[in-house]
Chains A and B, each alone.
Chain A
């Protein structure tokens, strides 16, 4: 079976977030782009399943909506081990747009299952996975923190309050994955980096979707006030500060 992993191309977490055009557009100058951490974990799990001789996962394809500037991120996914990649050539605008475009390509593919990170670390919309399954008219499971494939049988697990829920599910379906799906993201090895150059990266065009949202403006969080250091002897001072200034006691 073929597994599709949806990749988000997001700014590195240390990026200094800035906006232009009256705080309505994210300023991407000098930004280092990385694979969305949830998607990276999903890809790592997909690779583990492919390498597991007991599973029927044979091929892992990464798919992303992005312009040519997203290609280094896609190459990294190929270096980690994905067999091929599809880049839908468009600037992603919002969750609806991305889900529609992904579905536009995926509907013609023979899907084992699709893995989507539960959210992306840029806009944190947490909506693509659900919308994608609707567009594809496929069942979906959200907050998946484990996937097992035994032959053709797939079971997913979800962490629930105080325990774990295990669901067996027929393919194809969409898995919206949470942290825990794999422990640490896989680091590409040299061999992977070299092979990534030669792996197919197919660029496809999909018709534009209707733009349903627009950003009015963004607001940056207030800078953190300076830290106050209280001498360990002055318990009273600490108490005063917590009670009267921070008003938390």
Chain B
């Protein structure tokens, strides 16, 4: 009776403290901006099932995945035993469910096996962290507290599991001692093995040990429960809702900023007037945690600091300051601080003078500008945290509120604004690449305005892009593709001098205003020509048209040239004749905005499979492919400080395959890999071609 009362007091105390902390975290998360996430519930539940419950994304690293499954399954199943322990504790009974007889024994033996696997998992994890020192657990942001946090959790789990086994072992012996009056349930599979250790002890000592372990376990569990919300371990609860609410749209799509749309309309439409309250003060982008959405803040609490994001981040790999994990940890730390000040009324006197710190007190501009927006971090995260979204919101703040983009990016913005290309080239020169081409090759490149004047409507718009128009190397890619289009007799046209930057760079570099101006002007033009299908060689244009222009009523069927070529080859329209690549080794580099951003890994490989040659994959390929280093505005600025340039790292990896030809499918990747080959002094031995060039050369056209 007495023990029951103590038990009930401890249990209710622990529950109340836990509830209050969880409520506080809930309030903290709700400090974020409100967004509604209610769409596509079936898909969201499916994701919870596969990613959160099924741990699908863990599997990319099999050892860690297996050990984690042990601990995870243990956590769920051993907690089922907790049910009996709780009832025993409240009612003062002992092994209440033992009336199930044999089944009870089998059940507990299964629990014991799982207990053992949990212990194995914890030990392997401790070894990986402290003896093998796996890199991602020792990077800069893994300071003393995050490292001890992990160890505290693992050691606690080990102790709790040991308590169960010792309790069961001593219980088993006590059952054989008539003086102890223990319920007869037999001994269990694992604890049975360790029974000899205790068999020499008198019953009184055994009872003390058994009872101690019982209390140690249950009190330990309750203490641990209350430790979790203060620790990275909170992911055991939050990973489920976090996966449920995670982004469903393609990874490459950035969220729209309606507040900017309003401003762009003021600028572009003479008669635009604002219907809403004009005095509303909004922050553009994120300076403080409260400028982020509640989902970003839930991300921050869901992170268990495993560091998979950081270990796959091209900037981090090459020694830059950026670490996606640190971004998420900093967001959480900043949020905790802000929430403490906000909720804790007692401290209002002194602390009010000290303003709460902003995200920029934790995260430096250098970190933000090192990001290539390659989506490796978001892809890697086992619980679908989106560090990239936080980075991009903070970039938006820097550019829109502070005009604090790195100098070269400001020049890029000016160029896009003034002449519609990231470089200083006149928009009127956008057809120069075709002029010389038309003369020499006798190939006609139809221009939309001309066709439209003749009342003709081509099936496709071919988007040449700024690189296609102005980059000397990349012009050849566009020409090769045009040759193929001509060879096929496809009905298409280009915009010529009417084409202007899609705004991809501007958006990813934080200049939402410029992006939306470009988007709206382009959409007006495209819709004016009644464009339905867009073909492009540029994955960035592909992503922007496909995923982002619909935000402003620009709805098109967008086809990347690798997809188009795949369809044409598979339909038998393109017959590869030549054997020029027959003896060559080809390796394919996945562009981030085709691959991870839009899930297209297959089309380019299927095209290459039609080319007689040997194919070799790089170590990191498809969804794990390393970025070339040019995305997210990096193409137009100096790389942040680090040990190495990303393009060199990637080129080295490509060269390791022994490839004669590195194939790309993106203008940025081409520029980077071309530079990489030059840097490695391999110009004579290794060529860099776009898929369109490989196909056109193989067709001998």
> A residues bordering B, Cβ < 8 Å?
12-16, 30, 32, 34, 184, 186-191, 193-194, 197
Contacts and interface: CB of A to CB of B under 8 A. Distances in A.
Contact of A184 (B263, B407, B426, B427): B407
Which of B402, B405, B426, B513 has most chain A Cβ within 10 Å?
B426
Given A186-B403, A193-B513, A16 B410 contact: no
Interface stretch (B192-200, B417-425, B454-462, B546-554): B417-425
A34 B417 CA distance: 10
Interface in B400-414: 400-403, 405, 407, 410, 413-414
B284 interface: yes
A190 B513 contact: yes
A190 B401 contact: yes
A197 B401 contact: no
B428 interface: yes
B359 to A, nearest CB: 18
Contacts of A189: 400-403
Question: Which 10 pairs from chain A and chain B are nearest by CB?
Answer: A14-B419, A12-B418, A190-B400, A14-B426, A187-B403, A16-B428, A189-B403, A190-B284, A32-B418, A16-B426
A15 B426 contact: yes
A78 to B, nearest CB: 13
B429 interface: yes
B659 to A, nearest CB: 27
A15 B419 CA distance: 8
Contacts of A30: 427-428
Interface in B375-414: 400-403, 405, 407, 410, 413-414
B263 A194 contact: yes
A68 B415 CA distance: 24
Given A32-B419, A187-B410, A197-B266, A13 B400 contact: no
A190 B263 contact: yes
B159 interface: no
30 contacts: A12-B419, A13-B424, A14-B418, A14-B419, A14-B424, A14-B425, A15-B426, A16-B426, A16-B428, A16-B429, A30-B427, A30-B428, A32-B419, A34-B418, A184-B410, A187-B403, A187-B405, A187-B410, A187-B413, A187-B414, A189-B403, A190-B260, A190-B284, A190-B400, A190-B401, A190-B513, A191-B401, A193-B263, A193-B513, A197-B266
Contacts of B429: 16
Contacts of B425: 14
Give chain A's interface secondary structure class: loop
Interface of B: 260, 263, 266-267, 284, 400-403, 405, 407, 410, 413-415, 418-419, 424-429, 513
A12 B420 CA distance: 11
Contacts of B267: 193
Contacts of B263: 190, 193-194
A47 to B, nearest CB: 11
B106 to A, nearest CB: 67
Given A187-B413, A190-B260, 7 more contacts: A13-B424, A14-B425, A16-B428, A32-B419, A184-B410, A187-B405, A189-B402
Nearest to B284: A190
Contacts of B413: 187
A189 B413 CA distance: 12
B405 to A, nearest CB: 7
A190 B263 CA distance: 9
Contacts of A187: 403, 405, 410, 413-414
Contacts of A193: 263, 267, 513
Contacts of B424: 13-14
B549 to A, nearest CB: 22
B277 to A, nearest CB: 14
A195 B277 CA distance: 15
A13 B415 CA distance: 10
A246 to B, nearest CB: 23
A188 B401 CA distance: 9
Contacts of A14: 415, 418-419, 424-427
Contacts of B403: 186-189
Nearest to B410: A187
Contacts of A186: 403
B383 to A, nearest CB: 33
Contacts of A190: 260, 263, 284, 400-401, 513
A16 B425 CA distance: 10
A14 B266 CA distance: 26
Which of B266, B405, B418, B425 has most chain A Cβ within 10 Å?
B418
A190 B515 CA distance: 13
A32 B418 CA distance: 6
A189 B407 CA distance: 14
Nearest to A197: B266
Contacts of A15: 426
A186 B410 CA distance: 9
Contacts of A184: 407, 410
Contacts of B415: 14
A193 B401 CA distance: 10
Nearest to B429: A16
A13 B419 CA distance: 9
A188 B513 CA distance: 11
Contacts of A12: 418-419
Contacts of A194: 263
A108 B56 CA distance: 76
Contacts of B427: 14, 30
A81 to B, nearest CB: 10
Contacts of A34: 418
A34 to B, nearest CB: 6
A7 B670 CA distance: 42
A30 B426 CA distance: 11
A238 B429 CA distance: 31
Contacts of B284: 190
A186 B403 CA distance: 8
Which of A13, A189, A197 has most chain B Cβ within 10 Å?
A189
Contacts of B418: 12-14, 32, 34
B567 to A, nearest CB: 37
Nearest to B497: A30
Contacts of A13: 418, 424
Nearest to A183: B407
B419 to A, nearest CB: 4
